[in-house]
Structure formats: C-alpha cells, structure tokens
Amino acid sequence: MARHFLFARLGEQLAEGGALERALWAFEGGLAAGAWRLFASLPVERASELGAALGRRLGPRLKKHRHVLANLAVALADRPPEERAAIARESWANAFRMLAELPHLPDLVAGRSGAIEVVDPFGVRAALRGRPAIFVTAHLGNWNLTPVAAARAGIPTTVIYRAQTNPRIEALFVRARAELPWRHIEVEKAARGMLQELDAGRSVGLLPDQRFEDGVLVPFFGRPAPTPVAPARIAVQRKLPFVAARVVRLEGCRFEIRVEPPLEPDPAIKDARERAYALTAALNRLFEGWIREHPEQWLCAKRRWPRTVADPRAVENGGS
C-alpha cells in the first residue's frame, strides 16, 4: 500500500515512520481534514461535482496515473490511446467523486441524500437458503456503497477494509465507517476474522479485483495477474458461494447496485485447489465484463499485471 497519496515521490525518500515522514503525514492529514470539512459543508451533489472537477485536474498529475494508463492499455487494448487517456481522466473524476462523498456516506446509505436503487432479480436472500456468502465487488462507481445490497436484503455483513497508512487520514475514514450499518474488519486481521464471521452466520464483503502480491496468477483480460485465491478456497472449504454486486454511477449521486446470481464452486472439479482457482477465474471474467461496460468508473491505480511471467504454465495449472 502506498505510504503517501499526494506526495508519493517525496515520501519515498523519507525513512519509514521517521520524524520527517510523521511531519509529512501531519501535513497531508491537515489537507485531508480541510477537504473533508469542505465537502461535508456542501450538499452531496455539489461536493461530488467539485470532487470530479478536482479529479480531472489532479489525477493525471499523480504518479499513479501511469499505472491507470498502463492498466487501461491492457483492459481496453482495442481502444486508441487518446480514448484511453480520456477514460483515465474520467476514472480519476469518479474516484475523487467517491472521496468527496465520504463525509456524506452515512446519509447516502441511509437514503437521506442521493439515490441508491438495488437491482436483485434473483432474490439473493432466498437463493442463499440461510447460508452466509462471500460478497465481492470491484473498484467501480462508489464501491463503498456495495454492502447496501446485503443490508436491504436483511443479510448481516462484515466488510473487509484496508486502513490508510496515514493515521490522521485513517481517523477520518473511521468516523465515516462508525455510522454504517455493517461491521468492519481490517485486512490484516481478515484471515481469522473472515472465518469467525462466517461461522457466526454473517456474510463478508471483499474487493478482490486489485493486484495481490502473494496471489496466484489467474487470467485477467487475457493476461496472468496476481489475484487473491484465499477467498475462493474458503468458499470451497465451507461450500459457500460468491455473490458479486457492482455499483454503477448513473449520474451525479444516483447509483444502481446490481446483484448477480450466486456463483457456486463447481462440484465437477474434484481437486479443491483447482476448484478454488476455477471460481476465482470465473470471478475475474465477470469483472472484465463490468469494466468493459463502464471503464470510466473503474480505478486501478497500481500495476495490475506483472512485467514478465517466469513460468506461463503457472497460469494454466493454477500455480502461484
């Protein structure tokens, strides 16, 4: 995880956790707190529009922009570079919209502002037959809203999140999470926490579309990508499905959350590891379709694919 968002180059030159880095954290935290107060003081629609304007201007200037462009070059290889560049700017606009909407997140979730429509044509609660599930989504739209689908269906859910490295910025996120109607577990505690929540009958929510350094190479847009397979192994072990749900920004602060039918591990695959690999590959294919449909709402701001693959057979055999 990046130690610094706005001052990445400077942060890389500082000793991790040292006095100078703590001073930079304080400066970044002060900027973030000021932006938070500004966005909180505005109606959510105005805050979101301001965030979009900032994203279009600032996003392409960030160091991470090169990863956004490189990832889009793979995902949208059939599009010309100038179109991908325009999509990248809109990706940043959507991401900064999401950040500007964070102070309003409890109001959005509670329906006091904005509008969220949940489209669940398969009736996920009935389809689960009383079982918990592993809810999965991608970094699309305002992905923080995805658990609304489970909440409205009456499915108790615990969301896995990654804490911000800067403790001052993380304090702002804690404030927003405290008012949400679902539990949270930090990713560092997720290995045991997921199992405990599932054993208690609670579903868990994850975002497994990004690069995972210790992951297995699984095809994504036709190229092997390090992908977390542990959630699928838990699904296979516990005989639980994935339930994929995506947030699509319709316009402004109007959203649609579309719930897919449960994705069950294939019982025809006898080997448990191969079954988990196949389930993960199926999920990647689903994410591909989502991203192709709304690439301007997808943000992947770190290198998704390795520069080289030492052993291509690892992809075929599900090896790491």
pLDDT of residue 308: 66
At 210-239, the pLDDT tens digits run 988 888 999 999 999 999 999 999 999 999
- Position 317 pLDDT exceeds 50: no
Q: Which residue has the tokens 């689903």?
A: 286
- Position 63 pLDDT exceeds 60: yes
Q: Which domain holds residue 127?
A: 8-317
Domains: count for the chain? 1
Q: To 10 degrees, the CA torsion angle through 278, 280, 285, 289?
A: 150
Q: For residue 54, tell me if it sits in a domain.
A: yes
Q: For residue 24, tell me if it sits in a domain.
A: yes
Q: For residue 167, tell me if it sits in a domain.
A: yes
> What angle in degrees, to the nearest 10, is found between the helix axes of 65-75 and 81-101?
120
Lowest mean pLDDT: which of 25-29, 204-208, 224-228?
Answer: 25-29
Q: Is the dihedral of CA 53, 54, 55, 57 positive or negative?
A: positive
Q: For residue 124, tell me if it sits in a domain.
A: yes
Q: For residue 256, tell me if it sits in a domain.
A: yes
| Cα 259 from Cα 244, distance rounded (Å) | 6
Q: For residue 2, tell me if it sits in a domain.
A: no
| Cα 66 from Cα 84, distance rounded (Å) | 12
Strand partners, 158: 183, 204
Q: For residue 172, tell me if it sits in a domain.
A: yes
Q: For residue 1, tell me if it sits in a domain.
A: no
- Position 160 pLDDT exceeds 70: yes
